[in-house]
Structure 1
Amino acid sequence: MKKLILSVAIVLGTMSVQAAVPSITKTMSQSVITQDEYTEVSLDALPAAVKSTVEKSFPGTKLEKAYKNEKNEFKLEIANGDKKYTVYTDASGNIIKK
């Protein structure tokens, strides 16, 4: 009789262990991309301060394209040989890190 009770206890014990619900963790990541709308402007329309900043800060480069957003910030595409760079400035010629 002891063996029967012991075997029933073992069987029930193993069944309860297998019935445990595994914990599942869900990882959710959310990224927000802010994109300012820039419109292309002619190089002649750039303020003198912006042109001066490019000439002083990046000697030997050529200003290829310029874009302006509604905050009066400029996105400038400059090139030095085969390498191309994008620089952001405000209307006063201060470089903005983005």
Structure 2
Amino acid sequence: MKKLILSTAIVLGSLSINAATFRSSTDPVVNLIIQDEYKEVDAVPAAIKTGLDNAYPGVKLEKAYVNDKKEYKIEITVRGEKSTVYTDEKGNIIKK
């Protein structure tokens, strides 16, 4: 009798180990889109161009964006590598 109870406990224990939770396809998926507050601009102040030229020789400005705090998000290309740089209106580079 002890062997029967022990065998049953082992079988039931092994079945519960293999039980796993899975995500069904009917679960709602939440996509969170964080929209930054930057708006595209056509031109940037001369101080920003000068600051970028000093920091990255041979820089090419691709696109520029500005937010309400007069911080600029600038997409640049330097020696074939694209990058994004944040500056203030005086041309100082901001770490983000």
TM-score interval, normalised by the smaller of the two chains:
0.5 to 0.7
Aligned length: 84
Q: Gaps (5+ residues) in structure 1?
A: 1-7, 27-31
Q: Gaps (5+ residues) in structure 2?
A: 23-31
SS at match of 1:11: helix
Q: Give the residue type in structure 2 aligned to 1:60.
A: G
Deviations 1:73-92 (A, max 9, x none): 11112223533222111223
From 65, 76, 89, give the equivalent of 1:78.
76
TM-score when normalising by structure 1: 0.64
RMSD: 2.7
From 19, 29, 34, give the equivalent of 2:12.
19
1:54-93, aligned counterparts within 5 Å?
54-93=52-91
Q: Return structure 1 stretches of 4+ with deviation > 4 angstroms.
A: 23-26
Shift of 1:12: 1.1
TM-score when normalising by structure 2: 0.65
